[in-house]
Structures are given as C-alpha cells and as structure tokens.
Amino acid sequence: MSFFKNIKDKLSTQTDQVTEKFKDGLSKTRNSFVGAMNELMMDYRTVDEEFFEELEEILIAADVGVNTVMELVDELREEALRRNIKESKNIQPLITEKLSELLIKSDEETQINMQQGELTVILVVGVNGVGKTTTIGKMAKRFKDDGNKVMMAAGDTFRAGAIEQLEVWGERAGVDVIKQQAGSDPAAVMYDAVKSAKSKNADVLICDTAGRLQNKVNLMKELEKVKRVLTREIPDAPHEVLLVLDATTGQNAMTQAKIFQEVTDVTGIVLTKLDGTAKGGIVMAIRTELDIPVKYVGLGEGMDDLQEFIPEQYVNGLFSEVIQEAGNEEETS
C-alpha cells in the first residue's frame, strides 16, 4: 500500500472530532508553514539549488531542527534526481512524504505503557512553567474517563503553591491527591502514594516532581531517589517517565529535553501549547534528534484538549490538501 493511501486509511478509522482538534490546534503552524511553502512554489518554478536552500530556511524557521533539515534536504535532492523531478509543484508530495516519515515509525511507541490488571505508575518531569501540573490534571481526567481509578502524587514539594495547584486539578478531575507538607522529601510522598494507590486498588498513579534545573546534580539525585522508592515498591515502576515541554519555547525545549535525558530515562514527551505556536516543526526535531516519542500534545486550554499524539493526525493537520490530492491520484492510477 502506498504512503499517502496508508495515511488516508488510518485517518478514516479515527473520529472526525480528533481530526478537527489536530487541524484547529495546528492552524498557526499550518498557516505559517504552508504559506511559506506556497510562496516557495510560486517563486521557484523549477527545482534547483536555490530552491533547496530556500526550503532549508523555511524548515529551520519552523523549528524542525538544523541537523534534521540538512539530512532531509539532502535526501530530497537525491530523490528528486532519481525520480527526475524538475518542476517545484511535483516535489511537494515528496516533501510531505519525507517529513511524515520522520514521525510515522510505529503505532506502539506513542501509546502509554499500561499495566493490565496492575498499578501503572507514571512519573512526570519538566521545568517550572511548562504546564506540568496542568498536564497531570488533564492526563488524570483522560485516564478516569477511560474507566480507570486514578490517583496523583504531589511530589513537587518545593515550588510555592504546587501542591495546592495539583489539589485544584484533583477536584476538577475527581481524583485523589496524596500529599505532605511543603518542603517534605518527595521520595516520602511517592512512598505514601504507592502504598495508598495499592490499598485502594488504583489503576494509575501519576507522580508530579520538582522542576528545578539550577543544579543538575541535585535534580539527578532527587529523581534517582524518587525512582528508587518507586522501584522498591513496584519492581518495574515507573512504567513511563514523561517529560513536559512547552512548544512555544522552540529550541529551548530541545535544550531542556537533552538535560533531562542526561539525568533520567525519559520514555516519552508531552508537548504543551502546540496550538499557541507557528513553529510546530519542533515535534519533528524532538522525534528525530532526540529519538524520544511524543505521547501527548496540548491543543488548547480546555480539560479535553490534551490529546494522544497520533502521527497521522499531526501530518494531516499540516498537509491535508497534499495528502488528499496525492491519495486521490494513487487511487485513480
């Protein structure tokens, strides 16, 4: 089955509501990126070296990442030569295909590692200000709406108001929050939380953590201690370590991701505020340069606007017209 036909078929199995959320949430990136691409096609009727140099600038401006862009454009040069593509309008589906392939690697890796019949422990990390506590609250609601018994652990005991903020989200989502006093040892909070979650037969425990990057050594020691406590109580916990990043900070988010990769085993990314940026290409940079799957994206302010990351939906949110046209051509040929 061809590439574009495969995307169209996968999209047809997903709800219109999800498709619209991705399209609406990616509108700023789409308008900026597609607008620049359209101008490129008008300015350069033929595919030459100047065309590829301009394409590089557009992709870098969308925060796709310099290394990724260089590799991608080199591939496009070779493929255009191999397929004898001379006109710029004929290379657009190829650009879409190559960008899409960066993200669509396998279905399983974007899914949360849920433990069937046992407690699933999710550790959430990230610097202050990226929307970590809000993300935890929205995640809790998602899991609860799916029929799970959910609890939250207030492990960010240092930031003023962090515990109270998590309690507010607990009330909104209808989920219990395990906490201690401000300034308490986060590992002690995790110990209490696991014991409580087990005793109440919870399905999911979502653990908040401190987000201080001023001293990497302290952060590393703290996260190692928290993970050690979790693993002692449940040998394969935490089952996920999710890093929350703010999409609007662009390459700064990449820097944060690299630091957290050094101090803990990040298994997935939650990218917040994707609807608030025109540089949604950061998803591709994270996926290719860090090799960490994006598991959730924030596409709005509402309780239900934290969405599971579906690569085909992201690609369609940016390139729906190209995918539709290419898919139709393949079906009729």
Residue 4 has pLDDT above 70, yes or no: no
Question: Residue 12, Cα to own-chain centre: how many angstroms?
Answer: 22
Residue 143 has pLDDT above 70, yes or no: yes
Can you tell me the distance from the alpha carbon of 32 to that of 84, in angstroms, rounded to the nearest whole number?
29
> Could you give the domains of the chain?
19-107+314-331 (1.20.120.140), 120-309 (3.40.50.300)
**291 marked among binding-site residues:** no
**208 marked among binding-site residues:** yes
- In tens, the pLDDT along 227-264 reads 999 999 999 999 999 999 999 988 888 888 888 888 88
Relative to beta strand 294-298, strand 306-308 is: antiparallel
pLDDT band at 330 (very low <50, low <70, confident <90, very high): low
**272 marked among binding-site residues:** yes
**25 marked among binding-site residues:** no
**317 marked among binding-site residues:** no
- In tens, the pLDDT along 296-317 reads 999 988 888 899 998 888 888 8
Residue 118 has pLDDT above 90, yes or no: yes
The stretch 109-115 carries a mean pLDDT of 86
End-to-end CA distance of the chain: 13
**83 marked among binding-site residues:** no
Can you tell me the distance from the alpha carbon of 89 to that of 31, in angstroms, rounded to the nearest whole number?
18
Taking 3-state DSSP, the helix, strand and coil percentages for the chain, each rounded to the nearest 5, stand at 60, 10, 30
**89 marked among binding-site residues:** no
**69 marked among binding-site residues:** no
Residue 1 has pLDDT above 50, yes or no: no
- Give percent of the chain above pLDDT 70: 92
φ/ψ of residue 76, rounded to 5 = -65, -40
**126 marked among binding-site residues:** yes
pLDDT band at 82 (very low <50, low <70, confident <90, very high): very high
**130 marked among binding-site residues:** yes
**250 marked among binding-site residues:** no
pTM (two decimals): 0.89
CA-nearest of 180, 173, 186, 193 to 121 is 193
- In tens, the pLDDT along 174-216 reads 999 999 999 899 999 999 999 999 999 999 999 999 877 656 7
Please provide the average confidence, as pLDDT, over all residues in the chain.
87
**287 marked among binding-site residues:** no
**275 marked among binding-site residues:** yes
pLDDT band at 331 (very low <50, low <70, confident <90, very high): low
pLDDT band at 220 (very low <50, low <70, confident <90, very high): confident
Highest mean pLDDT pick, 39-53, 60-74, 185-199:
185-199
